[in-house]
Amino acid sequence: MFIIGICLVLLVSYLFDITSKFTKVPSVIFLLATGWLLNQVGGLFNIIIPNLNVILPILGTIGLILIVLEGSLELELNRSTQSVVKKSALIALFPLVIIAIGFSLFLNLEWEIPFKQSLINIIPFCIISSSIAIPSAINLSKEKRQFITYESSLSDIIGVIFFNFATFGTAITLTGAFHFVGQFMLMLLISLVASLVLAFLLAKIDHHIKYGPIIILNILIYQISKIYHLPALIFILFFGLILGNIDELKGVKFLKKFSFTKLNKEVKHFKDVVVEATFIVRTLFFIVFGFVLKTEDIINEDSVVWSLSIVISIYVFRAIFLKLGKMDMQPLFYIAPRGLITVLLFLSITPKDRFPYLNESVVIQVILLTTFVMMIGLIFEKKAKPDFLGFPSFRKDKNSEK
């Protein structure tokens, strides 16, 4: 029965994913609601279900790796994308840093919480969820989809690195910062070498099973790097960027004898596998997260002030930097959801570092509020005109040409 239930849930979630193109309701809302309803039904019929809180961090970690890998595979690094990459990087970076530091200073001055501890608690709320934002942008024009993909993927990566820095050592000092930068540079070197080796293996392995082992190696390298407190997500980013922009390496001397034609074909198939795997893990994560949701956490009045303060800050700074970047406000202003990485980083905070007022209720409310705001913005967005094959048009928006 359990296997039948999992299969039905995954098929229903696939239906949600398809219908979200037409309803403009993010599939994550349906997934969370499905998980919550399953919990209520289970309680109604006294069905004994094991503690699913244990597997949530595992699904979250694998989901994080696959989501960043999927996002980085889509990032094109060439002259035509320089402008959007710069804008998305700045809009991903500055609001995240300003909100994190601003709230941390407030907690430090008002509640006398150490600045480092404050940063650890607030950073998870500052990161845009690419697992929600990217699928939700499917009906937008090519330029807007591209921006959302870059911004949310970079927000994930920058946010996790920032969180790793905040949790590094016992205090935030200049010596600690230099040590972290040293580890960062070491991870860059490891990432570059490991990524090229894995790309070489992808092109050379003739066995019919090759994509699964490559993904497993990614997860293995990530986890080993985490054990040694290295910024492990850098490797996932590098690997995805190298594969996604493999044609840009044709001019490198020692790669001239490399078969780029065959590798391009393998990369295309690898992308498809990563997308499929990400869908399954993301679905299971949000179903399980919805299942472990407590109704009292959703409607907790004591957490509303904190949740609204965070959400208002998110959209105020988002509006400011979208204006400064001369980006189209509709619907980009609304697409800043929090999700998987917020939950994952929150769960990784040790009990001694927890700030009691930024609790599970605040996490749930911020995720739901930002997702509903995104849903409202998308409902009023006109769908991009389809081309002759029925896909959204790749023609430029008038606003993007200005």
Tens digit of each residue's pLDDT (9 = 90 or more) over 205-214 = 888 888 999 9
Whole-structure pTM value: 0.84
Task: Determine phi and psi for 356, rounding to 5 degrees.
Answer: -55, -25
C-beta of residue 134 within 8 angstroms of C-beta of residue 377: no
How many other C-beta atoms can be found within 10 angstroms of the C-beta atom of residue 333?
17
Domains of the chain: which residue ranges?
25-380
Asked whether residue 176 carries a pLDDT value surpassing 50, the answer given is yes
Tens digit of each residue's pLDDT (9 = 90 or more) over 334-349 = 999 999 889 989 988 9
Residue in the block written with tokens 């970076």: 93
In the prediction, which pLDDT does 98 show? 96
Average pLDDT over residues 296-317: 94
Asked whether residue 402 carries a pLDDT value surpassing 50, the answer given is no
Amino acid at 193: V
Average pLDDT over residues 302-328: 95
Asked whether residue 395 carries a pLDDT value surpassing 50, the answer given is no
Cα separation, 237 vs 195, whole angstroms? 10
Q: How confident is the model at residue 257 (pLDDT cuts 50, 70, 90)?
A: low
Alpha carbon distance, N-terminus to C-terminus of the chain:
57
Instruction: Output the six-digit token pair for 288.
Output: 């399980």
Helix axes 82-110, 304-324, angle to 10 degrees: 140
Instruction: Output the six-digit token pair for 326.
Output: 């001369």
The secondary structure of 63-84, three-state, reads: HHHHHHHHHHHHCCCCHHHHHH
Task: Determine phi and psi for 326, rounding to 5 degrees.
Answer: 55, 45
Q: How confident is the model at residue 9 (pLDDT cuts 50, 70, 90)?
A: confident
Average pLDDT over residues 267-288: 91
Q: How confident is the model at residue 242 (pLDDT cuts 50, 70, 90)?
A: confident
In this structure, the dihedral spanned by the alpha carbons of residues 71, 72, 77 and 80, taken in order and rounded to 10 degrees, is 0
Cα separation, 186 vs 200, whole angstroms? 21
C-beta of residue 274 within 8 angstroms of C-beta of residue 34: no
In the prediction, which pLDDT does 233 show? 80
Asked whether residue 372 carries a pLDDT value surpassing 90, the answer given is yes
> Residues 98, 77, 321, CA angle at the centre, nearest 5°?
25
Cα separation, 353 vs 351, whole angstroms? 5
Tens digit of each residue's pLDDT (9 = 90 or more) over 91-119 = 999 999 999 999 999 999 999 999 999 99
Average pLDDT over residues 277-297: 90
In the prediction, which pLDDT does 338 show? 94
In the prediction, which pLDDT does 273 show? 93
CATH code matching the domain that covers 25-380, chosen among 3.40.50.11540, 1.10.150.20, 1.20.1530.20, 3.30.70.260: 1.20.1530.20
C-beta of residue 28 within 8 angstroms of C-beta of residue 286: yes
In the prediction, which pLDDT does 210 show? 87
In the prediction, which pLDDT does 226 show? 83
Cα separation, 336 vs 339, whole angstroms? 10
Least confident of 167-171, 326-330, 345-349, 386-390: 386-390
Rounded-to-5 percentages of helix, strand, coil across the chain: 75, 0, 25
Average pLDDT over residues 67-76: 82
